[in-house]
């Protein structure tokens, strides 16, 4: 039975599974996009997001030079590196994670990756997926964003009309006052 145990087995031993996901996550961090089966992509996403969170939590400290960090901050960075190295065995991938990927996601509270469904694999008809890191700008704008921009433009147009009406009203108030002053 497999009750209350997180993760998938994928018909592999625990050591094989650990190595598989470590390699997939390292490839994801290195290339920022991988193509794999849907089941592997879902489990890789879970582990990759946890690892990115470890790096993101020390993002404020990573901005400082190492000699400027306090003892506590240095310990936090070392701990985060060790936690990431538990999952990702590739040193280059971990360095890229802390150097490039984590600073990109400092303003984001989760959702660092996305899974895009692909056609089935020709040989065995396995469901395939593309697992990729989210772009820095947050991706393509949602349709709601376009509506908000249109609403914003309408509000600005109304504000401009309101300003013009106020300016005309002030001009009309000044004109009779000038005529009264001339008399």
Angle at 90 between CA 87 and CA 95, to 5 degrees: 95
Give 42-87 as a 3 state SS string: HHHHHHHHHHHHHHHHCHHHHCCCHHHCCHHHHHHHHHHHHHHHHH
What would be the CATH architecture of the domain defined by 14-133?
A: Alpha-Beta Complex (3.90)
Angle at 65 between CA 22 and CA 112, to 5 degrees: 35
- Per-residue pLDDT, 2: 83
The ranges assigned to domains in the chain are: 14-133, 141-183
- Per-residue pLDDT, 63: 87
pLDDT at 170 exceeding the cut of 90: no
| C-alpha distances out from residue 29 to 1, 51, 52, 149, 156, Å | 34, 10, 10, 34, 43
- Per-residue pLDDT, 100: 94
Do residues 73 and 56 make contact, with C-beta atoms less than 8 angstroms apart? Answer: no
Integer Cα distance of 64 and 146 in angstroms: 38
- Per-range mean pLDDT, top range of 18-22, 64-68, 160-164: 18-22
Q: List own/partner pairs for 164-169 with CB under 8 A and 24 or more apart.
A: none
Q: What is the pTM of this model?
A: 0.72
Identify the DSSP state of 99. I
Kindly state the average pLDDT of the residues 68-93: 95
Integer Cα distance of 51 and 110 in angstroms: 11
61: enclosing H helix or E strand: helix 59-62
- Per-range mean pLDDT, top range of 93-97, 149-153, 157-161: 93-97
Do residues 66 and 133 make contact, with C-beta atoms less than 8 angstroms apart? Answer: no
List phi, psi (to 5°) of 12: -130, 160
Q: How confident is the model at residue 153 (pLDDT cuts 50, 70, 90)?
A: low
Tell me the β-bridge partners of 33.
132
Lowest-confidence range among 25-29, 51-55, 147-151?
A: 147-151
pLDDT at 52 exceeding the cut of 60: yes
């Amino acid at each position: 039975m497999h009750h209350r145990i997180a993760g998938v087995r994928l018909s592999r031993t625990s050591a094989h599974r650990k190595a598989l996901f470590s390699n997939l996550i390292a490839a994801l961090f290195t290339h920022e996009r991988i193509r794999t089966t849907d089941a592997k992509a879902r489990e890789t996403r879970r582990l990759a997001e946890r690892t990115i969170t470890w790096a993101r939590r020390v993002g404020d400290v990573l901005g400082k030079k190492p000699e400027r960090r306090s003892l506590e901050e240095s310990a936090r960075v070392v701990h985060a590196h060790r936690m990431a190295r538990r999952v990702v065995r590739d040193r280059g991938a971990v360095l890229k994670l802390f150097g490039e990927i984590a600073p990109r996601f400092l303003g984001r509270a989760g959702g660092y990756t996305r899974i895009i469904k692909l056609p089935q694999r020709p040989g065995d008809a396995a469901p395939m997926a593309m697992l990729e890191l989210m772009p820095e700008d947050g991706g393509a704008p949602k349709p709601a964003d376009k509506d908000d921009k249109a609403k914003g433009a309408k509000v600005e147009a109304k504000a401009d009309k309101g300003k013009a009406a106020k300016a005309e009203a002030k001009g009309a108030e000044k004109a009779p006052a000038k005529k009264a002053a001339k008399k």
